[in-house]
């Protein structure tokens, strides 16, 4: 038999079964109530329920004519634990990316500030040179 995680993912791969799980997350209900929103036969719904039950995602009971189904949240904990490892991995990666981008922005801002300062310095230098040439020309004319 496959491992619990594989069985859980296989069961959740079908959109009808995910919809059933979503409905059961709101509370226990009957098989007939679960079948109402779907355009499929009773045996088809039963097959979906059997897959969910075999994966440990739901339990089905029998109380006289009533067949209650309920979600088994502990089964989803296996998926959550598995996903949590990757969530941590990606959060660490995104934190490193954020640090890198902040470093790039700081470097860019520093270069822009230096370039602005250099431009202002060059403008002042050009202005002094023009002024000196102007004074030099006036001095020669005298």
Contact 4, 78 (CB under 8 A): yes
pLDDT in tens, 42-78: 899 999 999 999 999 999 887 777 778 999 988 888 8
What is the spatial distance between Cα 41 and Cα 58, in angstroms, rounded to a whole number?
20
CATH code for position 40: 1.10.10.10
Which of 36, 71, 106 is at the close of a domain?
Answer: 71
Contact 67, 61 (CB under 8 A): yes
User: Which range marks the domain in which residue 97 is found?
Assistant: 85-142
Q: What is the pLDDT of residue 142?
A: 53
Number of domains in the chain: 2
Q: What is the pLDDT of residue 62?
A: 79
Confidence bin at 1 (pLDDT 50/70/90): very low
Residue 116: C-alpha distances to residues 27, 90, 105, 120, 122 (Å): 65, 38, 16, 6, 10
pTM, entire model:
0.62
25 and 55 fall within a common domain: yes
Edge-to-edge strand list for the sheet holding 29-30:
29-30, 68-71, 58-60
The encoded tokens of residue 101 equal 């981008």
């Amino acid at each position: 038999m496959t491992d619990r995680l594989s069985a859980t993912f296989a069961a959740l791969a079908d959109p009808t079964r995910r919809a059933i799980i979503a409905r059961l997350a709101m509370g226990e209900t009957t098989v007939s109530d679960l079948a109402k929103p779907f355009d499929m036969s009773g045996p088809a719904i039963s097959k979906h329920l059997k897959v969910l039950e075999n994966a440990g995602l739901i339990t089905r009971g029998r109380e006289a004519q009533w067949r209650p189904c309920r979600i088994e949240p502990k089964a989803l904990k296996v998926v959550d634990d598995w996903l949590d490892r990757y969530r941590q991995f990606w959060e660490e990666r995104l934190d490193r990316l954020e640090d890198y981008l902040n470093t790039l922005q700081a470097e860019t801002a520093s270069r822009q500030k230096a370039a602005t300062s250099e431009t202002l310095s060059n403008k002042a230098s050009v202005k002094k040179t023009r002024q000196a040439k102007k004074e030099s020309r006036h001095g020669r004319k005298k």
